[in-house]
Chains A and B, each alone.
Chain A
C-alpha cells in the first residue's frame, strides 16, 4: 500500500510525518498542509526525501482574524462570564456592577503583521481602535496609513502602550516564548493578552503567574501548549481567562477553501507543475 501513496493531505497534524513514515512511502511526491502554520513539520527532513510541501495561506487569514476579534470583544465585554451568570439557576442577580472595557478608543498592539495581522488591523480600525504593530520588517507607508497603524520597532514600546495585545506571529525559534515574565510585566495591569498564533509563543507558566497576581487583567487564548491542556492545568481554572479549542479556522467556509487549496497543490505536484503555495525549508 505504501508504494501507492503519492500525496498526503495533512489534517490537524495527523499523520505524524517522521523518518519512518517517509521511508515507508517511496513514491510520495507532496504533503499538503491544512492551514498555514508549519511548526509541526520538519521541513528539512521532508525535503531530503524529495517530497514537496505546501500550505494553505489564502484560506485562513479572514477566519483567523475574525477569531482574534471575537476573543478581543468577548474578553473586553466579559461575555462568557456574564452569559454564565445569565443562565445560572441561582437566584442571585447582580446588575449595575458588571462593567467591561470600552473597545472604541482603546489601543490594540498587533505582534506579527502578516496577512492575518493586517486583516485584524482593518477590523480594529472599524472599531475605532488605535493600532500599534510590531513586526520583523516595517510595512509600506500606504499599508500603514490604510489601517492607521503605527510601527513599534521595539516590542517593549508596544507592550507598554497597548490595552489589548494580540499575538499573530508564526512559531519559529525566534518567536518561541516571545512573551515571558519580562514582557508581561511591561504590559499595563489593565491590559488583555490575546493569542491566536501558537501556544509556545507564550511562556505559559509566566502567564499563569501574571494572571493570578494581576500583572495583566485577562487573557483570551485560542491556542495552548499542549492542545488540549491537561485537565488539572491552572489556566482552565482562572476566572479571567477565555480558552477556545483552536477554532481559528474552524468554519464551514474556511475548511472548504483550505481543502480546495490543498487539492490544487496536490494536483500540481502530481502533474509536475509549479505549486501555488509551496513552502521551502529556510
Chain B
C-alpha cells in the first residue's frame, strides 16, 4: 500500500478472498479501518521507525526555511526585477528561540535532539510525560496543558499521529493562543489542523506563518487559499521521501508480506 492507495473498503475486501496481508508504507495508519480488516482475517503491517529521522529532518527543514524566508528570498534573488536587496528584509532568529513539540514520540524526540543543537528552548506536550533522563538529555520541558505550550512557543511543531483525539487538535482557539509572531509547522496529518481556521488565522495575522508537509486533502484543490498565501510553505508529503529511506521501507514491506504469506509472525504488525 503506497500513499493510501488502493482504498481498502468492504467492496475491495470481498473481491479479494485470498488476501492475507496489507503492508502499508510509512508509520501512519489512520487511512486504514483496522476493525474491518480484522473481520476479514487480513493482517496489517507498517514501517514505523525507519521514517523517523527523515520526518524529523523535514520538520526542521520547514522550520528553518520558514523562519529565514528561504522561499521568498530565493524568489527575490531570481526575479528579473530585482536590482538590490532591501536593507530591512529580515527573518526570525532560530537559535535561542522556543520550540513547542506537540507529540513526543520517536519523531518528536528526534526533533528535540536537533532543536537542542540550535540552542532552542524546548517545550513539549504529549499524552504522557517522558522519563526524566529522556527530558534532561534534550532539555525538554513538559507542558501538561497544550495551552501553556502554545502561549510560549515561537515555533509549534506537530508530530502526533492522527486519531479521533487529535483530529482538529489545532483549531481557532489554539491558533489564537499562539503568539502573533509564531509559526506553525505540520509534519503529522492535515486533519490535525482545522484548515479553514488556519487560513483565517494566517490572513488576519493571528499567527505569523505556516509550513506544511501535509494537508487535507493531498493535493489541495488548485484554487485553495493556502496555495496563495505568501507566508505559507507547502511541500507534497515528502517527510520520508529520501532514496535511502524509501529503499528500506520497500524492503520492510516485502519482508512483512513474505512472512504474512508463509503464516509466520509478521514483523511490524499493527494490531
Cβ of A252 to closest chain B Cβ, rounded Å: 5
A87 within 8 A of B: yes
State which of A123, A227, A237, A244 has its C-beta within 8 Å of the C-beta of B74: A244
Cβ of B33 to closest chain A Cβ, rounded Å: 23
Q: Which of A2-10, A68-76, A263-271 is the interface stretch?
A: A68-76
Query: Which residues does chain B contribute within 8 Å of A76, judged by CB atoms?
Result: 57, 61, 242
Query: Which residues does chain A contribute within 8 Å of B82, judged by CB atoms?
Result: 228, 231, 245
Q: Using an 8 Å CB-CB cutoff, how does the interface string of A241-277 with B read, 1 for contact, 0 for none?
A: 0111111001111110000000000000000000000
Query: Which residues does chain A contribute within 8 Å of B246, judged by CB atoms?
Result: 99
The reply to whether A96 and B90 form a contact with Cβ atoms under 8 Å apart is: no
User: Smallest CB-CB separation from B66: which chain A residue?
Assistant: A70
Q: Which of A78-86, A154-162, A179-187 is the interface stretch?
A: A78-86
Cβ of B79 to closest chain A Cβ, rounded Å: 8
Knowing A77-B57, A98-B236, say if A250 contacts B90 (CB, 8 Å): yes
B94 within 8 A of A: yes
B91 within 8 A of A: yes
State which of B70, B85, B236 has its C-beta within 8 Å of the C-beta of A86: B236
Cβ of A107 to closest chain B Cβ, rounded Å: 13
Interface size class of A (residues with CB under 8 A): 35 or more
Knowing A102-B244, A228-B85, A245-B77, say if A250 contacts B91 (CB, 8 Å): yes
Interface residues in A122-141 by Cβ distance below 8 A to B read 122-123, 125-128
The reply to whether B54 and A102 form a contact with Cβ atoms under 8 Å apart is: yes
The reply to whether B91 and A251 form a contact with Cβ atoms under 8 Å apart is: yes
Knowing A99-B241, A231-B80, say if A245 contacts B235 (CB, 8 Å): no
State which of A102, A105, A236 has its C-beta within 8 Å of the C-beta of B78: A236
A20 within 8 A of B: no
Query: Which residues does chain A contribute within 8 Å of B60, judged by CB atoms?
Result: 69, 73, 127
The reply to whether B2 and A102 form a contact with Cβ atoms under 8 Å apart is: no
24 example contacts (A-B, Cβ-Cβ < 8 A) are as follows A62-B95, A62-B118, A62-B119, A69-B118, A70-B64, A74-B61, A76-B57, A77-B58, A79-B71, A83-B71, A89-B227, A99-B246, A123-B118, A228-B83, A243-B74, A244-B68, A244-B70, A244-B73, A244-B74, A247-B69, A247-B73, A251-B68, A251-B91, A252-B92
Q: How far is the CA of A126 from the CA of B94 in the complex (A)?
A: 15
User: Smallest CB-CB separation from B227: which chain A residue?
Assistant: A87
Cβ of A146 to closest chain B Cβ, rounded Å: 12
Q: How far is the CA of A253 from the CA of B91 in the complex (A)?
A: 9
Knowing A80-B70, A87-B227, A244-B70, say if A104 contacts B87 (CB, 8 Å): no
B7 within 8 A of A: no
User: Smallest CB-CB separation from A235: which chain B residue?
Assistant: B78
Q: How far is the CA of A65 from the CA of B117 in the complex (A)?
A: 11
Cβ of B164 to closest chain A Cβ, rounded Å: 27
Query: Which residues does chain A contribute within 8 Å of B118, judged by CB atoms?
Result: 62, 66, 69, 123, 126
State which of A65, A90, A122, A246 has its C-beta within 8 Å of the C-beta of B85: A246
State which of A91, A127, A253 has its C-beta within 8 Å of the C-beta of B57: A127
Query: Which residues does chain B contribute within 8 Å of A82, judged by CB atoms?
Result: 235-236, 238
Cβ of B223 to closest chain A Cβ, rounded Å: 8
User: Smallest CB-CB separation from B239: which chain A residue?
Assistant: A77
Query: Which residues does chain A contribute within 8 Å of B91, judged by CB atoms?
Result: 247, 250-252
B17 within 8 A of A: no
User: Smallest CB-CB separation from B113: which chain A residue?
Assistant: A126
Query: Which residues does chain A contribute within 8 Å of B85, judged by CB atoms?
Result: 227-228, 245-246
Chain B: interface residue total (CB-CB under 8 A): 56
Q: Using an 8 Å CB-CB cutoff, how does the interface string of B39-79 with A read, 1 for contact, 0 for none?
A: 00000000000000110011011101101111101101110
Q: How far is the CA of A244 from the CA of B2 in the complex (A)?
A: 35
A101 within 8 A of B: yes
A63 within 8 A of B: yes
The reply to whether B77 and A244 form a contact with Cβ atoms under 8 Å apart is: yes
A100 within 8 A of B: yes
User: Smallest CB-CB separation from A255: which chain B residue?
Assistant: B90
The reply to whether A104 and B64 form a contact with Cβ atoms under 8 Å apart is: no
The reply to whether A70 and B70 form a contact with Cβ atoms under 8 Å apart is: yes
The reply to whether A236 and B77 form a contact with Cβ atoms under 8 Å apart is: yes
Query: Which residues does chain A contribute within 8 Å of B245, judged by CB atoms?
Result: 102
Query: Which residues does chain B contribute within 8 Å of A93, judged by CB atoms?
Result: 219, 236
Cβ of B152 to closest chain A Cβ, rounded Å: 17
User: Smallest CB-CB separation from B222: which chain A residue?
Assistant: A89
A38 within 8 A of B: no
The reply to whether B242 and A101 form a contact with Cβ atoms under 8 Å apart is: yes
A240 within 8 A of B: no
B122 within 8 A of A: no
The reply to whether A228 and B71 form a contact with Cβ atoms under 8 Å apart is: no
B243 within 8 A of A: yes
Knowing A125-B117, A244-B73, A244-B77, say if A69 contacts B64 (CB, 8 Å): yes
The reply to whether B234 and A86 form a contact with Cβ atoms under 8 Å apart is: yes
The reply to whether B57 and A73 form a contact with Cβ atoms under 8 Å apart is: yes
Query: Which residues does chain B contribute within 8 Å of A254, judged by CB atoms?
Result: 93
